[in-house]
Structure 1
Amino acid sequence: MSLGTSRWRHAANGAVLVAILSVAALVLHTAPDRDLQQSPIPVPATLGEPATGRNIRATVHSVAVTESVTAGNGWAGGTAGVWVVVDLSVEAVETDEGAVFGTAVLRVGDTRFSASTRPGNATVVSVRLATGIPLTGPLFFELPADLAASDAAATATLELALNSDPRVDSLLVMPVDLTDLPVQESLDVDFPEWGDQ
Structure 2
Amino acid sequence: MNAAGRWVLGVGLAVAAWAVISATPDHREHTADPIPVPAALGESVDVSGMTVTVTDIRVTDGLEPPGGTALGGRWVVLEVSVLSRDSDLNNPLGGATMQLNDTLVTASDLIPSEDRLDRAAPRTGLVVSGSILFQVPPDAPLGEATILLSRREASESGVWADDQAQLDVDLGGIAIQQDLAFDAPTVAAP
Name the CA shift for 1:38/1:159 in 2 (closer, same or farther; >3 Å): same
Contact 1:54 1:170 in 2 (8 A): yes
Q: Deviations over 1:128-153 (max 9, x none)?
A: 1011211101111111133142xxx5
Deviation at 1:194, TM superposition (A): 0.9
RMSD, aligned α-carbons? 3.2
Deviation at 1:98, TM superposition (A): 5.1
Deviation at 1:170, TM superposition (A): 2.9
Deviation at 1:51, TM superposition (A): 2.4
Say which structure is richer in helix. 1
Match for residue 140 of structure 2? 147
Deviation at 1:15, TM superposition (A): 6.5
Match for residue 62 of structure 2? 68
Q: TM-score, normalised by structure 1?
A: 0.72
C-alpha separation in 2, matches of 1:45 and 1:134: 21
Q: TM-score, normalised by structure 2?
A: 0.75
Deviation at 1:85, TM superposition (A): 0.1
Deviation at 1:183, TM superposition (A): 2.4
Name the CA shift for 1:77/1:146 in 2 (closer, same or farther; >3 Å): same
Deviation at 1:168, TM superposition (A): 5.1
The residue matched to 1:37 in structure 2 has which SS? helix
Q: Deviations over 1:97-116 (max 9, x none)?
A: 45223322223355432222
Please tell me whether residue 99 in structure 1 is matched to residue 94 in structure 2.
no
Spell out structure 1 runs of 4+ moving beyond 4 A.
12-17
Consecutive unaligned residues in structure 2, runs of 5 or more: none
- Number of residue pairs matched by the alignment: 184
C-alpha separation in 2, matches of 1:158 and 1:191: 21
The residue matched to 2:109 in structure 1 has which SS? coil
C-alpha separation in 1, matches of 2:158 and 2:83: 16
Deviation at 1:23, TM superposition (A): 5.6
Name the CA shift for 1:145/1:168 in 2 (closer, same or farther; >3 Å): closer
Say which structure is richer in strand. 2
Deviation at 1:175, TM superposition (A): 3.1
Consecutive unaligned residues in structure 1, runs of 5 or more: none
- After TM superposition, the structure 1 = structure 2 runs for residues 1-197 of structure 1, keeping only pairs within 5 Å, are 10=5, 14=8, 18=12, 21-22=15-16, 24-28=18-22, 30-33=23-26, 36-47=29-40, 48-71=42-65, 73-75=66-68, 77-80=70-73, 82-95=74-87, 97=88, 99-101=90-92, 102-109=94-101, 111-120=103-112, 121-149=114-142, 153-162=143-152, 163-164=154-155, 165=157, 167=159, 169-177=161-169, 178-195=171-188
Answer with 1 or 2: which has the greater Rg. Answer: 1
